[in-house]
Amino acid sequence: MLGKGFKLPHLSPSCSPACTRHSARPLPRVHATSVETTFQTASQEAKLWTHVKIFFETPWKQPVLHGSISGANWDDFPLHRVGSAPNRWSFCTLPVPQAPTTASAPLVEFVIRHGSKDEWNKPAQGGNYVIHAPGSYTIRSNAVQASEGTPVMVVSDLDGTMVGDDAATAAFRDWWEEEAVARGSGSVLVYNTGRSLDSFLGLIQEKGHCLAHPDALISAVGTKVYSFDGKSWREDEAWTAQLDKEWDLVAVRDAAYKALTQAGRDNMHFRPKEELNQHKVTCGVRVEVLDSVLASLASSFADAGVQANVITSGHGDWRFMDVVPIRAGKLEALQYVQGLYGFPTQQVVACGDSGNDILMLQGNNPAVVVGNSQPDLVRWYTDQMKTEANSTSGPGGRARLYLAPRHEAYSILEGVQYWNLK
């Protein structure tokens, strides 16, 4: 599900949702005044409609809601797997009228069927499920209730943050699937990682026993964005296309080769090709030559008219150095995905442990610095708190930045608790 909001259909009050499918036909010629009138009419009709969102806790692979909207004929509406809990939760969004069209009929009356099987989910006391008002609802243990609480978008780094301690990773997954997924209009989980999609898929297979599945993936240091529809991953081509502006891969590679020649192959190397893509050049650089390498790149980019983000991370004798387009990066990609799902900034929590997380942690959204963070991120946090020490820009008037006492995913849970988002 890519998009937290609901796109209202063009319906008349007497039309059921099944009527929204139209066959293609030639468009008539119309005058501008006619077009304007049509848009005004469409806008007025859209205001007559709102929605009911239903979360259903089930292991069923193909649940189908069979029901009636405001007294209309009964129809089938397939449920879709929730991306961040595909083996536990399904959902559907139903368009419903703002005002009841039949005084004696409930807004939505329904039962749920297991695909084409003769297996049904109904209220424990018998009869059908009934909803009387627009909003979000959950069905679990054969009972329907309003979804309460504030939905949250958690945007977390993987290695050293969400992953590192299996018990902590499992604790987060348990909280996410049990409490967060169906909260309000639905929470969203995003992993923001330096890993490629293939590397991530290998990780989630390895850690499938404890790692929560995300709704979306920001990979390769913000150069790729993917969404999960409950079955497969889809790359966001609009995000990828806009990264080409002011980016010249050949010029960036040439600049990196020049810096490597100056530093020497004992002090700098290109990372394996599976870590590179058309918008990301990654090198390993020894700490003692890092400053000179960065200066060489800056000079080459200025000569070539290239704008790029250069991101360093790691600890010890070597650093990772990622060169990505000026429009790419973990923060830029976070903000893009946030817009896709329609989350307000105060409900988007970023979490990281290293230097390549600094960009996404320095946005306006609340941010967790995990307790096991690498020295470069701890130094950044210390410097940042000189200006943000008395900040009340976080949720509930609390500080925007939070340095968690515990490690890895336990820190994430502490962070959402700190802002009363848990």
Compute CA distances 144 → 126, 140, 147, whole Å. 13, 7, 9
Give the model's pLDDT for residue 173.
98
Give the model's pLDDT for residue 146.
97
Report the distance separating Cα 264 and Cα 258, nearest Å. Answer: 10
Give the model's pLDDT for residue 142.
97
Give the model's pLDDT for residue 45.
52
Indicate the DSSP class of residue 10. -
Q: What is the pTM of this model?
A: 0.86
Report the distance separating Cα 391 and Cα 269, nearest Å. Answer: 41
Compute CA distances 161 → 168, 216, 348, whole Å. 10, 17, 16
Give the model's pLDDT for residue 205.
96
Which stretch of DSSP H or E encloses residue 130?
strand 129-131
- 129 pairs with which residues across the strands? 110
- Sort strands 143-146 and 135-140 into parallel, antiparallel or unpaired: antiparallel
Is residue 79 within 8 A of residue 64, CB to CB? The reply is yes
Domains and CATH numbers, the chain: 27-146 (2.60.40.10), 153-242+329-418 (3.40.50.1000), 249-325 (3.90.1070.10)
Is residue 182 within 8 A of residue 84, CB to CB? The reply is no
Give the model's pLDDT for residue 48.
80
Report the distance separating Cα 180 and Cα 175, nearest Å. Answer: 7
Give the model's pLDDT for residue 47.
59
SS (H, E, C) 58-82: CCCCCEEEEEEECCCCCEEEECEEC
Of 247, 194, 188, nearest to 218 by C-alpha is 194
What tokens does 349 get? 């929590």
Report the distance separating Cα 315 and Cα 318, nearest Å. Answer: 7
CB-based contacts of 215, cutoff 8 Å, min separation 6: 1, 82, 83, 84, 188, 189, 190, 227, 228, 341
Report the phi/psi class of residue 71: left, alpha or beta, with left for phi > 0 and alpha for psi in -120 to 50. left
Of 289, 422, 254, nearest to 347 by C-alpha is 422
**What does 281-327 look like in DSSP terms, one character per residue?**
EEEEEEHHHHHHHHHHHHHHHHHHT--EEEEEE--TTEEEEEEEETT
- 311 pairs with which residues across the strands? 322
Of 245, 361, 261, nearest to 313 by C-alpha is 361
pLDDT under 70 in the chain at which residues? 1-47, 100-102
Of 164, 77, 80, nearest to 113 by C-alpha is 77
Give the model's pLDDT for residue 104.
81
Give the model's pLDDT for residue 101.
66
Neighbours of 253 (CB within 10 A): 14
DSSP three-state, residue 340: helix
